[in-house]
Amino acid sequence: MCEEMQEARMNILSEMFDNDEWSDLKVQTATYTFNVNKSVVCLTCPFFKAACTGDWKEARAGIIELPESAETVEQLLQWCYGVFDTDYFTGSAEKLRYYELLVAADKYQLPSLKQEVEHWLDPLGPVSDYVEIALWLYQEERRQVVGAQRTREIMEDIAANMVEILNDDRWEKIQECPELAKDLMRFVAQESSRVNKRRRLIDPKHLRKPAQATDNAENASNG
């Protein structure tokens, strides 16, 4: 009986998401506008609740504009309605889309969605768009949300393919982001035995391994 009731609720929410006949709020992206129900999104997402109840222009206009892609916003809204399908992570989407969803889940205060994305990110393996992901992460401090471990993994992917990257336009793109270029050169130098014999380089905080962070703290206290 409980399973039947749960299934009935899911069917109702799915119908509400797909049918905008009784919607009372618009969520607008650059390419698509979603018609949603305040009673659902405000109950499940603190950001939407604040936008609809505070003295915001969005509350008065009934339109919330989000900078994320329509694909990412659709996944956020599906999560709010309880109709999110994890098959999304086994589809043909570029891995960058998953990182976008991870950062958006953190931004819009959906910790359970963030955990779900993190769970699926781990086994996804190597990717071909690692430079594009790195360039995206180094904007707006997004790497702080993604964390040092995954940022290092992306650096490892780039470093392992440096010869190939230096011979195409990806290197020019990296040079256009000085902070990424500096961190990448630091990472490559650390992996060089010739450099390591002369001087050990210390990672910046956003690339630091947990053990390394502890060692640095101990050295500072001993000093």
Q: Are residues 111 and 184 in the same domain?
A: no
Q: How many CB atoms lie within 10 A of CB 204?
A: 11
- Give the pLDDT band of residue 10 (cuts 50, 70, 90): confident
Q: Are residues 93 and 131 in the same domain?
A: no
Q: What is the pLDDT of residues 40-68, one digit of tens each?
A: 999 999 999 999 987 778 778 889 999 99
In this prediction, residues 67-79 reach a mean pLDDT of 97
Q: Are residues 34 and 116 in the same domain?
A: yes
Residue 22 is assigned to a structural domain of this protein = yes
pLDDT of 219 higher than 60? no
| Residue 198, domain extent | 126-206
Residue 214 is assigned to a structural domain of this protein = no
Q: pTM of the full predicted structure?
A: 0.79
What pLDDT, on the 0 to 100 scale, is given for residue 196?
Answer: 53
Q: How is 64-129 classified by DSSP, letter by letter?
A: EE--S-HHHHHHHHHHHHT---GGGGGSS--HHHHHHHHHHHHHTT-HHHHHHHHHHHGGG---S-
Contacts of 19 (CB under 8 A, 6+ apart): none
Residue type, 23: S
Residue 95 is assigned to a structural domain of this protein = yes
Q: Are residues 117 and 131 in the same domain?
A: no
Q: What is the pLDDT of residues 31-40, one digit of tens each?
A: 999 999 999 9
Residue 88 is assigned to a structural domain of this protein = yes
Q: What are phi and psi of 115, to 5 degrees?
A: -65, -40
pLDDT of 90 higher than 90? no
Q: Are residues 105 and 166 in the same domain?
A: no
Q: Are residues 107 and 177 in the same domain?
A: no
**Average pLDDT for the chain:** 84
